[in-house]
Structures are given as structure tokens and as C-alpha cells.
Structure 1
Amino acid sequence: MPQQEEESKPTWLPSSPSTPDCRTTPTTVIRFGIMSSPTYPDPRPAIVVGDRVLNLSLLKKWDGFCLLEESTKSHLQVFDESDLDSFAALPADIRSRLRRYLQDLLIKDGPYASALQDKLLVRAAVVFPVGDVTIHPPFKADWIDATVL
């Protein structure tokens, strides 16, 4: 039986006037990568949605994962690394839970709005325009099985 495609919901992320509106970017599409910025020069895991980048290490530091189930929180240290190797090595169910949490975190007035959408100071600290960051290679491993992500 074919899987049903998940319904995409609008996001609260802002977008710049020169790029497509983030609010039309599907929240079901979560692209992981590694970023750095002039303010935070150490490369860290991030997700890209539209023209915005969300630093996952800073999100962890600012307690943006506060509503994540406890059994999954113990794996958040992967977001303090400079590549996605450890994230890719997590069991599939843990990666799936983290991805689902991030998707729900980005939904406008979604179930986790109190963790980030409603916290303007935290949003200012963890969300960057894509033009303000440097993107780095996501893996140090020589080969990667594309099915892990």
C-alpha cells in the first residue's frame, strides 16, 4: 500500500523580500546541513527552510527542544558536533522523532509554538538568513548511505 504524503502546513518563519516566502515552503521538507556564521564560527548542524537556517546547536542551548520527549532528548548531543556523522548513525526511529519534532516546531501556531515561535529572543538567536551563513560539508565519512537521512 503506498504511503500517503503528509500535508504541509504553513510555517511562522519570516522570509526576505527577494526570496520566495518561507510560509509557502513545505514544513514536511526538512533539509539538514552544517553551518557557521560570523557570530558563531564553529560549524554546527542546522536545518534550512526556505531562505532561513535554524542552528540546532543553539536551539538546544536555548532550550528549544524543551517539549521533545525525554527518551529522545538524550540524543541531542549530536547537534553539538561539527558534522552530521553521529546524527546519521542514530537509530532510524530517533532520527524520525527528531525530524517530526522540528517539523512540528516550525508549524505556525503548531503544537510546539511555545518552544520557539512565541519566543522572539530565542528566534533571533537561532534563526539566520541563509545569506548570512557559510554552509559546510555535512559528513566527514568517505561514503554515506543516502537512506539514513
Structure 2
Amino acid sequence: MNTPVPGACGPRLPVLRIGDILLVTLHGDLHDEAAGRLQQDIGEAIAASSVGGVVIDISGVEIVDSFLGRVFSEVAAHAKLLAAQTVVAGMRPAVAITLVELGLTLPGLRTALDTDEALRLLAPASTPRLHQNPVRQESP
């Protein structure tokens, strides 16, 4: 179930909770003030919700500069300190090229082609797999 996280409404970007994961979807240009606010909102939402992962969907972002790349890295570092992993999803090829040209390595940040893949990456390892047959041991 998708539920908004408290404190993430109004002029702020929505931070939605999907189970144990926060989802943030970015569209258009993200100005410096909004990027800083996003960083704070995600940190507060992780602490308040005790989630294990954050997905930042940037499929609607056409330009990522060095500042925004640094914000993504800092969000990942803050999330890691709060025991959560961060995945950036939906990066356009032009954005990836720009980040490489800028020399940004984005340490601690995982990427996924789309939001579905990001959610699968963050799925708890303890989740039982469907179609898994139990192993039966024969008695001696």
C-alpha cells in the first residue's frame, strides 16, 4: 500500500512509503533549494518510518549536474547511516553520460533501469521465493 510519509506534503516533493521502501519520483529540473529539502525529507522519512530502502526515480529528469549528483551520493550516505539502502532508478542514457563526463562515481549508490527493478533489488533477502519446493530428507 502506498502511503505518504508525514512532513512530505505541500511544496515539498512527495516521499511515498511502499512497504519497507520509500519512493521518491523526480520530474523536470530539481533546483538547489528543492534538492536540499529532498535530502532532508528523505533522512527524516527514513528515521520516522524505519524503512530498509529508498528508491529515487529520476526517469523524469533530463539534466543532472554535479550538484544533483552529489545530492544523490549524500542521500545514499545518509540512508546507509540510518540502515537503509538507496537505488536510483530510470536514469536516461544522456544523464549517465553526463555523470561520467563530470567524473562523478556516486559511491554507495546503486542503480536500476526502472522502478520495478529497483524494488526487486531492495526486496528483503529473507522473502521466501514462490515455486520453491521444500527439500525432504529420507529417514535412514
Flag whether TM exceeds 0.5 (same fold).
no
Bigger RCO (CA 8 Å, 6+ sep): 1
> Structure 2 length normalisation: TM-score?
0.30
Larger gyration radius, structure 1 or structure 2: 2
Going by fraction, where is strand more abundant, 1 or 2? Answer: 2
